[in-house]
Structure 1
Amino acid sequence: MVDDATKSQLKRIPLLTVKAGPRDAEQWPARLKEEYQSLIQFVKNNKEADNDWFRLESNREGTKWFGKCWVYDNLVKYEFDIEFDMPVAYPSTAPEIAIPELDGKTAKMYRGGKICLTDHFKPLWARNVPKFGIAHAMALGLAPWLAVEIPDLIQKGAIVAKS
């Protein structure tokens, strides 16, 4: 499922160790610290590889995440708002990343603009709990989804670049 280039990239994203979700008041801050460290390293790696493609931030509690992602197609930038909430069962359950403005434009999306990751990503996530975190969801979930779906949506005329 994962090609050599992706495996190489994944090896450079720190794995997480704390198995705690937002409801675990004692361990959640430690998990959140690991999440931020992993995300910072992932963004740094992307910038070094000239592959900067998203910005992400959270509310103070680390339970709601939001930001932007973008894709270039034929030298045209397509930018989208992204958002997700940390699931109650996190990290056993992966976050469901949403791109609300694309809701209803592709069959590979659930209500509310949540991208479909069921067949490929969720089994991989389940095998890697608690080692995978938000950076891994971006790298193995959102990035491949964008790479496949956005060019298809552009070709079908379902989305156009913002001027």
Structure 2
Amino acid sequence: MSPEHDQHPLFLPLVFVGGLLFGFGLGFSHMAQPEVVLSFLQFTDFGLLFVMFGAAIVTGITFFGVKQFRSRAPLTGAVYERRLKSLDKNVVIGGGIFGIGWGLSGICPGAAYASLGIGNVPILYGIAGMFVGAYIQGFWRSARTERNTPATTAD
């Protein structure tokens, strides 16, 4: 199924509603405050652990339960399947870089946007850094791909 043209008309509004719920939950649980996240990373406040555990339980039940009743996603028509990413050096290095950024800023990408909603305007520096970092990584990866792709005689 093509990604955009065959989507259900409620797809984008429901994504928006999901984002609203996610942002509200982060704000309500105080996880949109970098100070709270840094307290967790310094082992002085374990509230984040309970929030993540609760979210993992709800998500796990939902993903398990939906597959029992439907074989395809209702809005996109995509087949439900597991997409496992192999543990390679890119996952380890990328995860390490992500963790360093999370530790330095005190906030992960989703919570950074929610943090704007509670008035944390300085987080815009962190969000700008995420965009610049993602752009640099994409540019670097495409340059590597072009360099490693051999030219054919038709080129």
Question: TM-score, structure 2 length as denominator?
Answer: 0.34
Higher Cα radius of gyration: 2
Q: Which structure carries more relative contact order (alpha carbon 8 Å, separation 6+)?
A: 2
Question: TM-score, structure 1 length as denominator?
Answer: 0.33
Name the one with the larger helix percent: 2
